Chains A and B, each alone.
Chain A
Amino acid sequence: MADNGMRQTLFTLLTILCFSTFFISCNQKSKEGMLVLTQMKGDVPAGDYTSGKMWRYLPTARLVTLQPDNPKGTLQVLTPDFYSACGPKIAYDGRFLLFAGQKNENDTWQIWEMDLSNKKTRQVTASSENCIDPDYLPGNKLVFSKLMDKGTLKSGHMLFTCNLDGSKISQITFDPSTYLASTILQDGRVLTIGKQLLPNEKKGAFKVMRPDGTKQELFFKGDPTTSIHSPAWEMGSGKIVFAASNGQNQNSIISIDYNRPLHSMTNLTEGLQGDFYGVSTLQDEKLLTSYRANKDNLFSLYEFDAEAKTLGKPIYQDETYQILEAVAIKSRHRPKKLPSEVNPEVETALLMCQDINITAMEDEGNDKTVEGATRFEILGIDASLGIWDTEKDGSFYLKMPADTPFRIQTIDGNNQIVNGPGSWLYLRPNERRGCVGCHQNNEMAPKNRQPLAVRKDPIQIGFAKNGNDIEKYVIE
């Protein structure tokens, strides 16, 4: 009898457990296959590309989900408690969402993460400055842009990484440039839009770096009229797509090849009238894009076939809201988790240049090798840090303070500048880096030659201790 009673109790408990599990799973319905859209009422603000202030901070925007096979169905608002939210990025397992949000109008923008199964949000960053443009990094981390606003000083965004719980915040860019709209390439590197602010502003270009900020280099810059206007998305085919304008008011969808980004730019929407606000990957060669035929229309969501270069029918249009960003909720291949050579306990880094007289001019087919530079000058933010002789083979080898921006120019025996100054550089603590030349062709591998400079100890370059302070170089 007692056994029977026990069995009955057990059966009842199991039944309750099964039903509970069923109801819980119904409640936490998978969002796989749905789309997350950024909606915004009113006109799209004109981009302030220098600071990114207008372009990346959309007022009163909200995130919603959409079932693409039932676009007329009700949209679900994901961020009803937010004054504004945008910049959605989906986790690699398709279960979570990162976005930048403002709870109240006067709040700073912070990074939030949402569990898509129950729409619960969790604040990741809690900075006094605006934090935007997050993306997931492998290893439960993220990268984001943080405004380094110094009151009356001109603003710039630096890249930071942190754990998903907001701990271990680490700055990874240190030069006087602003960095926005990061995305993670499958090779594990951060692809971001970088724009030099000092001493003169330059057009934004895609820069790539390891998640610890090391090995930063130019990835894509287009021609002088190209302005990049959206984050990049990497397709399975190895193509990278983004929205950019070409000296006009309207944006196109541009594609570049991961394998050779500097020389593979293709305008996928050439011949198509209209404006493309942004683009993201859907599947295979299919893209999601925010498009409007003319300025009188609102941006709507369309599918775009990157192979056929054709715009499909609209997936979703709204009479009130602009559809500015769209990402598909789906699990995707996790990028490589790159090891880090950064050692925070080391205050310096090493830089070696094979030959300062190797420049891009040599590679452009005119057989004209620029010769003559025998010295080089290191320029800090507001002062020269010294001039040194190169070795006979044109090489030099430096030990630099880490996380400190500098530029290099080459000089001949008569103190005339031969080349430069080049772009800003900085090295992370313990980073070791090599250059083939100065202003060299970015596609040139080094000669297999031991530079004379590394047969000696490195030249020690000393900077002021707070040389990396943003206030030093962010000016009105």
Chain B
Amino acid sequence: MKKTRLLLLFGALVVLGLLIYFPGHKWARKHVNYMTAVTDHPLKCTSCHLSTSKNAFIVKMLNEDYFSPFNSAVSKDGSRLYVVSQDLDQLLVVDTKEKTVLDHIMVGVHPHSVILDQDNSLAYVSNQWSDNVSVIDLATSKVVDTLDTGNGPSGLVLSADGRFLHVVNTFGSDLSIIDLTSKKEIKRLVTGSDPTGTALSPDGKTLMVTSRRARMVPYGEPLVSDLTLINDSTQLITKHMDVEEAYLMENIAFTPSGDLALMTLIRPKNLVPTVQVEGGWMMTHGIGVIEQNEDGRIVQLLLDEPNSYYSDPFDIVISPDGKMAYVSNSGVDCISVISIDSIRAIIKSTSTKRLETIANDLGMSSRFVLKRIKTGANPKGLTLSPDGKKLYIAEQLEDRIGVIDTETLIKEKSIDLGGPDRITVARQGRRLFNNAGHTFQNQYACYTCHPDNHEDGLVYNMAGKDMGRNVTNTQSLREIGDTPPFKWNGKNQTIYKQDGMRFSTVLTRTEQFSYDDLDALVAYIKRGIKYPPNLMYNPHGELSEAQLRGRELFNRSEDNLGNVIPENNRCITCHPPPFYTNLKAFDVSTLAVTDDSILFDTPHLNNIYASAPYLHDGRAKTLEEIWTIYGQDDKHGYVNDMTKMQLNDLIEYLKSIRASEYYQEEETEQQASFVKTD
């Protein structure tokens, strides 16, 4: 009897389990199908709900702290390598002979570059996300000073006499000149947009600063980026040179003789309909050679080959004898070894008329690239030992320093920085994001159009149906994890769909990500992307008077005449905190004749100051233009009653908007006010 009861109970439990399991399984399948937009994604709850969790405990458990080496500098005797650890805010001191880490020195936030003074007693580290430079006494390994800079300090160089420190300010698009005696910034010079790289000519006369973003021009006009020349002794800008059809000029170096300067660059094809990848139709990657003579020509040469691309060239260094240059191709994990004499021969035989032709010639690289050497994941900054015999490579996503013997061009044992051995899901996603291996013939990585997980400032002809239609402004990926749907038309409900099958058909044009890789990529985009604070417009969270006035205008429900503004035409209705989007689609009257008819997904506004140009097709160069030129019908918010001063205030407020984490409480307040209104 007892046995029968037990059997009955067991049977009931099985039936109950089945009743729960089958509908549950069916529901889960439906849910996963919706989220991934495919029907065969594995039913693995952890794919999404664990790797993209915001729970602090889970985040801590799943993730690791990596060093992520970015740049380095070597001592005069070659015995010490100073490595910038971008993710842990440290400068690592490395014994190059023993290949061991001797010291970890805490610096500012998100350090970018390091240089040493002439007698190697001090190191200067630019802290890109805390707007300062750490001065380190190398004898004691202590930070002895912190120098204020402009916004987003990156590239560093000392003046020829060693009295001044030149700091390139990436976010401010300028250059700070700091007097090292008074430790004060004495001058700020305007550079090209989003600069990072800088180098001083061997004769100490000319400082060059590269820019990463092109000048803003209406869609269809030629792409031009800026190379800024500064006289080191007068500390005045001598010239802004046009670098045509190129951008993302990350770094620059002079030959020892000073006859040439070489910089890395990318030649995008954003004006060409994106109908194919074959033949360099989306992105090409190369170097710019600036002749240091009267002609001062800039000769662009591709590092790519007809069937193989070497995406995202980052750093360039030149051997002490001026014969060889080394370029880190971050997107394909390799170093391109270049014969500078071959480049000299090419440019000598090339007339100015043919410069544009050879700049697009995928066959040229076979004339000057001697070798490609594989590295660890995502090679960034390069440093040559003083004798030129060792090349040190900051392998950012490998957490180690690669070492190449430049005489044999063979890789030696790497320097392990002591980071975690485990590769987390988000780290794997970051590797995928930065690697071009998932694009046909390695032509570009996610990073290429989204440098620093942001956007490249360009508008692309995505050729959705017909060519020439639907030009699209690249969107920033910062903080997009919680702002579905995606794309300007909001057609992709999740990042899974955005980066899934269709992504491979229209964009990468090669095999789609495996589901494990897609899980990792989504985890990284949703939770792994870090971004700089809004130190430019809202460094401390206290709004200026103008910003406060602007906030009132942003939140207003009545116009200047006291008339009630319809709720769906108030800024706050569609752009509520914390993300400043209500995640819905609207017609804001900005559809172009070349656009298919769509509603626009309301974009989030966090750190919107850094995302110019604006609107779906990038037609507005500034936030002001959204209303002064393109918002005259009041369909994109009711603004035309505002005075010029009021509009200025509104813009100031918009620029002050920081990361969503600062507005969680406002969300609650906002919701409460909506409830009251209702």
Contacts and interface: CB of A to CB of B under 8 A. Distances in A.
Contacts of B360: 444-447
Interface stretch (A1-9, A162-170, A279-287, A337-345): A337-345
Interface stretch (A94-102, A258-266, A323-331): A258-266
A262 B306 contact: yes
Contact of B280 (A258, A362, A397, A446): A446
Interface stretch (B506-514, B583-591, B637-645): B506-514
A26 to B, nearest CB: 35
B272 A448 contact: yes
Contacts of A450: 219-220, 271-272, 461, 468
A201 interface: no
19 contacts: A138-B511, A187-B441, A188-B511, A258-B308, A338-B509, A341-B506, A367-B353, A432-B467, A434-B276, A441-B361, A443-B361, A443-B362, A445-B269, A445-B302, A445-B360, A445-B362, A446-B269, A449-B272, A450-B219
A337 B511 CA distance: 5
Interface string B253-278: 00000000000000111111101101
B271 A433 contact: no
A339 B511 contact: yes
Interface string B360-392: 111100100000000000000000000000000
A457 interface: yes
Interface in A121-150: 138
**Chain B interface main SS type:** loop
A455 interface: yes
A447 B268 CA distance: 9
A434 B306 contact: no
B354 interface: yes
B223 A336 contact: no
Contacts of A138: 511
B467 to A, nearest CB: 4
* Residue of B245, B308, B506 most packed against chain A (CB within 10 A): B308
Interface residues of A, number: 47
B273 A434 contact: yes
A457 B469 CA distance: 10
Contact of A188 (B267, B269, B273, B510): B510
Contacts of B278: 215, 217
**Chain A interface main SS type:** loop
Contacts of A455: 468, 594
Interface in A417-476: 432-434, 436, 441-451, 453-458
A373 interface: no
Contacts, number: 143
B361 A187 contact: no
B511 A434 contact: no
Given A258-B307, A259-B308, A363-B357, A350 B363 contact: no
A268 interface: no
A457 B466 contact: yes
A352 interface: yes
* Residue of A262, A337, A443, A449 most packed against chain B (CB within 10 A): A443
* Residue of A260, A263, A446 most packed against chain B (CB within 10 A): A446
Given A434-B276, A455-B594, 14 more contacts: A215-B276, A258-B307, A258-B308, A259-B305, A260-B307, A367-B353, A433-B275, A434-B281, A444-B362, A445-B267, A445-B281, A447-B245, A448-B271, A450-B220
A339 B504 contact: yes
A371 to B, nearest CB: 13
B123 interface: no
B501 A339 contact: yes
Interface in B427-469: 440-441, 461, 463, 466-468
Contacts of B354: 365, 367
A441 B357 CA distance: 10
Contact of B466 (A260, A350, A451): A350
A338 B466 contact: no
Given A262-B306, A367-B351, A455-B468, A432 B276 contact: yes
Interface residues of B, number: 51
B357 A362 contact: yes
B279 A432 contact: no
B284 interface: yes
Contacts of B544: none
Contacts of A258: 307-308
A-B residue pairs, 10 tightest by C-beta: A445-B280, A454-B468, A443-B363, A432-B275, A259-B305, A339-B505, A450-B271, A454-B467, A259-B308, A336-B511
Interface string B470-513: 00000000000000000000000000000001001110011110
Interface in A340-357: 340-341, 350, 352, 354
B566 interface: no
Contacts of B269: 445-446, 448
A333 to B, nearest CB: 12
B222 interface: yes
Contacts of B341: none
Nearest to B503: A339
A228 B673 CA distance: 78
Nearest to B305: A259
Interface of A: 138, 187-188, 215, 217, 258-264, 336-341, 350, 352, 354, 362-363, 365, 367, 397, 432-434, 436, 441-451, 453-458
Contact of B467 (A217, A397, A445, A446): A397
Nearest to B458: A448
A339 B509 contact: yes
Given A258-B308, A434-B272, A454-B273, A447 B356 contact: yes
A446 B222 contact: no
A449 B245 CA distance: 9
B512 A339 contact: yes
Contacts of A354: 272
A448 B245 contact: yes
A454 B220 CA distance: 11
Contact of A446 (B219, B272, B351): B272
Contacts of B351: 367
Contact of A260 (B220, B306, B509): B306
* Residue of A350, A442, A450, A453 most packed against chain B (CB within 10 A): A450
Contacts of B353: 367
Nearest to A138: B511
Contact of A261 (B245, B279, B306, B463): B306
Contact of B275 (A263, A337, A434, A442): A434
Nearest to A238: B308
Contact of A259 (B280, B307, B501): B307
A363 B361 CA distance: 9
A338 B363 contact: no
Given A341-B505, A444-B360, A454-B273, A260 B305 contact: yes
Nearest to B362: A443
A434 B269 CA distance: 13
A148 B276 CA distance: 30
A104 to B, nearest CB: 41
Contacts of B505: 339-341
A445 B354 CA distance: 14
Contact of B363 (A187, A215, A263, A340): A263
B625 to A, nearest CB: 21
B363 A449 contact: no
Nearest to B279: A445
Nearest to B506: A341
* Residue of A442, A447, A453 most packed against chain B (CB within 10 A): A447
B264 to A, nearest CB: 17
A443 B271 CA distance: 20
Contacts of B280: 445-446
A261 B307 contact: yes
Contacts of A456: 468
Nearest to A263: B363
A262 B302 CA distance: 17
Contacts of B441: 187
Contacts of B463: 432
A340 B219 CA distance: 30
A457 to B, nearest CB: 7
